Structure 1
């Protein structure tokens, strides 16, 4: 998991592929602020290069009990379909189990067909519609 400021910053180029609106100059501050509420960044690296990043937290609610929620899950576009996403996803599952989570949840944009195919291959179910309202 990304513990140091430098590790968090090293995750930026990969996360920016999923969240292109992010700016590098305020990325660390945003992550540090979210970490105060339980947000964590996990990453997968090889030869000191990061290939996949997941932003997540553990939470609890009446509907699901204790669960792991994945906010961000992205593999570097240059190495997709090489198992990095699967390895990180499996790590998230084990992390959740180790922390007494009963479920893993995530939302995915309706346009992300490749991601949906991946999630379905991981035996995830489509269980609800997520609605939003700009305020």
Structure 2
């Protein structure tokens, strides 16, 4: 393995679609692609990735903000490592890189959301030193009231 970490250029943001579609199975593909493009155009969003040589094997979105209770913070989003690379410590290495990368950008804290049913991620984040401080609530405003 020849592992490296880097940002995904906004012009190449759709390169994350194959990995992201594996964890987002409820959103229709065209809608997911449109959302990825819109996210890529947000000034407070950045996508970082794990590569094995030139093969994209992991992604993580980073949402930057300043919060009154944390200061300058970053929220990792849609974190995924390709199935064939899981269990090899890449998630830990990726997050070590993300911690340093975002500290260099002035971030003082990190917070994230994970689905309540994703118990593997809970264990990972606990081991990374994350604590539960709040619940994340969502209300669907679309007419169909569906989550996708």
Single out whichever of 16-25 and 100-109 deviates more from structure 2.
16-25
Over the residues paired in the alignment, what is the CA RMSD in angstroms? Answer: 1.8
Task: Please say which of residues 27-36 and 41-50 is displaced more in the overlay.
Answer: 27-36
Is 1:104 aligned to residue 75 of structure 2?
no
Residue 18 of structure 1: which of 13, 23, 26 is its match? 23
Is 1:67–2:60 an aligned residue pair?
no
Q: Determine helix, strand or coil for the equivalent of 2:75.
A: strand
Residue 47 of structure 1: how far off its partner (Å): 2.3
Which sections of structure 1, spanning at least 5 residues, go unmatched?
none
Q: Larger deviation: 29-38 or 44-53?
A: 29-38
Shift of residue 24 of structure 1? 4.5
Distance 1:47 1:93, change over 3 A: same
Specify the structure having the higher radius of gyration (Cα): 2
Q: Distance in 2 between matches of 1:13 and 1:98?
A: 29
Distance (Å, rounded) in 1 between the aligned partners of 2:10 and 2:43? 17
Q: 2:25 and 2:98 mapped to 1: Cα distance?
A: 23
State the TM-score, normalized to the length of structure 2.
0.80
- Which of 3, 25, 50 does residue 9 from structure 2 map onto? 3
Aligned to 1:106, what secondary structure does the other structure show?
coil
Which consecutive unaligned segments of at least 5 residues does structure 2 have? Answer: 1-6, 142-148
